[in-house]
Structure 1
Amino acid sequence: MYNTNNKILKWYHLNKRDLPWRQTSDPYKIWLSEVMLQQTQVETVIPYYEKWLNKYPTVQSVALENIDNLLKIWEGLGYYSRCRNFHKATQDIMHNYHGVIPNQIELFKRLMGVGDYIAGAVMSIAFNQTHIALDGNHRRVVARVLGIKNQTHQNLKRIKTYLKKLVWEGNPGDINQALMDMGSTICRPSNVACDNCPFHLSCKAFQSGIPTAYPQKVAKKEIPTKKMVAALVFHEDTILISKRPLNGLLGGLWELPNIEIVNGEKPEELIETTLEDQYGFHINVGDKLGAINHTFTHFKMKVSLYNCKIKNDPLSRDKAKWVAFSDINQYAFSKANHKLFQLVELRND
Structure 2
Amino acid sequence: MNKKLSKKELKDKYNINMWSEDKIALFQDTLLKWYDLEKRDLPWRRTSDPYKIWISEIMLQQTRVDTVIAYYKNFLTSFPDINHLAEADDDRLLKVWEGLGYYSRVRNMKEAAIQVVTHHDGIFPDNYEEIKKLKGIGPYTAGAIASIAFQQAEPAVDGNLMRVLSRLFEIDIDIAKPASRKVFEAVMYHIIDQNRPGDFNQALMDLGATICTPKNYDPSISPVKEFNASYVNETYLNYPIKSKKKKKKIVNYFAVLVQNDKGEYLLEKRHEDRLLANMWTFPLIEEEMISRDSGWKSFEDTDLYELNDLKKDLLMRYVKKKYSLNINLGIHSSGKISHVFTHLHWNIYAYRASTRNSIEAIPSNCEWVHETKFNDCVFPVLQQKIWKSSQEITLL
Quote how far apart the aligned CAs of 1:17 are. 0.6
User: Match for 2:388 among 337, 342, 345?
Assistant: 342
Quote how far apart the aligned CAs of 1:49 are. 0.8
Quote how far apart the aligned CAs of 1:57 are. 1.2
Distance in 2 of aligned mates of 1:206 and 1:232: 55
Structure 1 counterpart SS, 2:354? strand
Structure 1 counterpart SS, 2:252? strand
Single out whichever of 214-223 and 74-83 deviates more from structure 2. 214-223
1:330 has 2:353 as partner: no
Residue in structure 2 matched with residue 321 of structure 1 by the alignment: 367
Q: Deviations over 1:263-321 (max 9, x none)?
A: 34754334323333333333332343412221313232222222223354321543211
- The code of the aligned residue for 1:147 comes to E
- The code of the aligned residue for 1:37 comes to L
Residue in structure 1 matched with residue 338 of structure 2 by the alignment: 294
Distance 1:155 1:88, change over 3 A: closer
- The code of the aligned residue for 1:22 comes to R
- The code of the aligned residue for 1:101 comes to F
Distance 1:155 1:261, change over 3 A: closer
1:282 has 2:326 as partner: yes
Residue in structure 2 matched with residue 241 of structure 1 by the alignment: 267
Distance in 1 of aligned mates of 2:227 and 2:32: 16
1:129-278 mapped onto 2 (5 Å cutoff): 129-151=152-174, 156-167=181-192, 169-237=194-262, 238-262=264-288, 263=291, 264=296, 266-278=310-322
Distance in 2 of aligned mates of 1:248 and 1:208: 50
Quote how far apart the aligned CAs of 1:203 are. 1.3
1:112 has 2:156 as partner: no
Quote how far apart the aligned CAs of 1:240 are. 0.7
Quote how far apart the aligned CAs of 1:162 are. 1.8
Distance in 1 of aligned mates of 2:114 and 2:273: 17
- The code of the aligned residue for 2:121 comes to H
- The code of the aligned residue for 2:218 comes to A
Structure 1 counterpart SS, 2:285? strand
Structure 1 counterpart SS, 2:318? helix
Distance 1:234 1:28, change over 3 A: same
Distance 1:29 1:14, change over 3 A: same
Single out whichever of 79-88 and 290-299 deviates more from structure 2. 290-299
Gaps of at least 5 residues in structure 2 are: 1-23, 298-309
1:307 has 2:352 as partner: yes
Quote how far apart the aligned CAs of 1:156 are. 4.8
Single out whichever of 58-67 and 12-21 deviates more from structure 2. 58-67
1:41-120 mapped onto 2 (5 Å cutoff): 41-120=64-143
Does the 8 Å contact 1:288/1:304 carry over to 2? no
- The code of the aligned residue for 1:253 comes to M
Quote how far apart the aligned CAs of 1:227 are. 1.9
Kindly tell me the number of residue pairs found equivalent between the two proteins: 348
- The code of the aligned residue for 2:339 comes to T
Quote how far apart the aligned CAs of 1:347 are. 5.7
Does the 8 Å contact 2:193/2:200 carry over to 1? no
Distance in 2 of aligned mates of 1:34 and 1:300: 26
Distance in 2 of aligned mates of 1:281 and 1:127: 58
Distance 1:155 1:104, change over 3 A: closer
Larger radius of gyration: 2
Does the 8 Å contact 2:254/2:351 carry over to 1? yes
Q: Deviations over 1:22-46 (max 9, x none)?
A: 0111111100000000011111111
Distance in 2 of aligned mates of 1:113 and 1:10: 33
Distance in 2 of aligned mates of 1:276 and 1:323: 19
Distance in 1 of aligned mates of 2:120 and 2:274: 28
Single out whichever of 255-264 and 267-276 deviates more from structure 2. 267-276
Single out whichever of 339-348 and 326-335 deviates more from structure 2. 339-348
- The code of the aligned residue for 1:163 comes to M
What TM-score do the two structures reach when normalised by structure 2? 0.82
% identity of equivalent residues: 36
Distance 1:270 1:53, change over 3 A: farther
Quote how far apart the aligned CAs of 1:165 are. 1.6
Distance 1:23 1:293, change over 3 A: same
